[in-house]
């Protein structure tokens, strides 16, 4: 079994405490199951050597799509976005359903930008795909049926790690169409002044009518992420899936709700920090949903409204416990804000890189 530990070590004699971040080159959560998520086997740009096969350094949308297309024909594909490179997208790109074993890695400042259209940036439909340290910038959220900067649709074993995603036309990152074994970790989601409406960040399961495809899928872990400025809803909103929300920071003043349980959602939320937000959990009076979330193992500061599953109407109790499937040692809930933001650290704690595209600086 793959393990993820953010280990809290206390050296009593010296009263020194050290927070030790997880192995940054290993997937965890749901993405660690079903054979694991390893991408091309290359998990940081520094691992690439002259002998590494099928390595691409695109600088345009066309070059990026061409690199993705090779993944249908070779055993593994590594795509590196060089330091400070911005690739402008107009049509949107796709990891084909027949593609597999792909690592997409950004050096510091690597950015994918769609500044105008509704077509999104990247739609992942393949198997065993890793995306790390990329900034995804959309054109701004408005109330139209546009595509997200990043979508995971029907894919299996996907790990999105240390990315910054903002101003998506519709949402910032959606997971749908029977996608399965997905982990979203150390990502930052927000909206800027470019967004004027529909600032709804993350949707898991796109329709109440898609149960035949989604009921046994949409196994997703959200860990150590940060929902920040101007996010109003969907952090995430879930239909059908078995979703674990752990060690996330919800610091989005002016929001409508944080997590929403939709039709037949099964959500386990623990060791999160809810700060200056409304309704940490909501089900919009949905008749069938399953939520495990209590006030004893989540941190609240100036949070209002529904704080726990016990305050939801029509909650049918817990059926899903992620700790029955994979190992994870949570960060203490009162330290989540410091660890995820990297803005400050409790005395004696080692800094992390924080959430967002912050790796390899």
Closest to 269 in 3D by CA, of 295, 302, 288:
295
* Number of other residues whose CB lies within 10 A of the CB of residue 35: 11
* CATH number assigned to the domain with residue range 3-341, chosen from the 4 options 3.40.50.261, 2.60.40.420, 3.40.50.300, 2.160.20.10: 2.160.20.10
Q: What is the rounded CA–CA span in Å between residue 163 and residue 179? A: 19
Q: Which of 247, 239, 235, 214 is nearest to 331 (CA)?
A: 247
DSSP classification of residue 233: B
Across the strands, what pairs with 281?
Answer: 259
Distance, CA of 160 to CA of 106 (rounded, Å): 12
Q: For residues 105 and 283, what is the distance between their CA atoms, to the nearest angstrom?
A: 36
Residue 22 confidence (pLDDT) = 60
d(CA 63, CA 75): 19
Q: Which residue, among 25, 1, 345, has the nearest Cα to 185 in the 3D structure?
A: 25
* Residue ranges per structural domain of the chain: 3-341
Q: How do strand 93-95 and strand 77-81 relate by DSSP bridges?
A: unpaired
Residue-level pLDDT, tens digit, the chain, 361 residues: 334 344 333 322 222 233 444 667 899 999 999 999 999 999 999 999 999 999 999 999 999 999 999 999 999 999 999 999 999 999 999 999 999 999 999 999 999 999 988 889 999 999 999 999 999 999 999 878 889 999 999 999 999 999 999 999 989 999 999 999 999 999 999 999 999 999 999 999 999 999 999 999 999 999 999 999 999 999 999 999 999 999 999 999 999 999 999 999 999 999 999 999 999 999 988 889 999 999 999 999 999 999 999 999 999 988 899 999 999 999 999 999 999 999 877 555 567 789 999 999 9
- What predicted TM-score, i.e. pTM, was given to this entire model? 0.94
Residue 18: per-residue pLDDT:
35
């Amino acid at each position: 079994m793959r393990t993820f530990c953010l280990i809290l070590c206390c050296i009593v004699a010296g009263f020194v405490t050290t927070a030790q971040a997880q192995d940054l080159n290993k997937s965890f959560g749901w993405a660690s199951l079903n054979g694991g998520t390893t991408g091309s086997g290359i998990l940081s740009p520094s691992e690439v050597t002259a002998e590494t096969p099928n390595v691409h350094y695109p600088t345009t949308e066309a070059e990026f799509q061409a690199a993705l297309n090779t993944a249908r024909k070779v055993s593994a594909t590594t795509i590196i976005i060089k330091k400070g490179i911005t690739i402008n997208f107009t049509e949107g790109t796709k990891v084909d359903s027949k593609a597999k074993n792909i690592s997409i890695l950004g050096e510091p400042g690597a950015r994918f930008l769609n500044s105008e259209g509704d077509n999104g940036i990247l739609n992942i439909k393949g198997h065993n795909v890793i995306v790390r340290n990329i900034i995804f910038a959309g054109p701004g959220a408005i109330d139209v049926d546009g595509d997200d900067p990043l979508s995971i649709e029907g894919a299996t074993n996907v790990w999105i790690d240390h990315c910054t995603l903002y101003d998506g036309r519709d949402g910032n990152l959606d997971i749908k169409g029977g996608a399965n074994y997905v982990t979203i970790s150390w990502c930052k989601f927000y909206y800027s002044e470019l967004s004027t409406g529909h600032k709804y960040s993350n949707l898991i399961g796109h329709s109440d009518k898609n149960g035949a495809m989604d009921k046994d899928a949409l196994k997703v872990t959200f860990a150590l992420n940060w929902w920040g400025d101007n996010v109003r809803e969907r952090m995430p909103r879930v239909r059908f899936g078995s979703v674990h929300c752990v060690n996330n920071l919800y610091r989005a003043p002016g929001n409508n709700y944080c997590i929403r349980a939709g039709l037949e959602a099964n959500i386990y939320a623990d060791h999160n920090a809810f700060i200056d937000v409304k309704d940490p959990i909501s089900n919009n009076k949905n008749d069938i949903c399953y939520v495990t979330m209590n006030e004893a193992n989540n941190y609240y500061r100036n949070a209002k409204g529904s704080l726990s599953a016990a305050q939801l109407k029509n909650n049918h109790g817990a059926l899903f416990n992620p700790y029955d499937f994979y190992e994870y040692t949570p960060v203490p809930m009162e330290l989540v804000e410091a660890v995820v933001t990297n803005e400050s650290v409790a005395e004696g704690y080692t800094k992390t890189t924080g959430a967002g595209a912050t790796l390899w600086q």
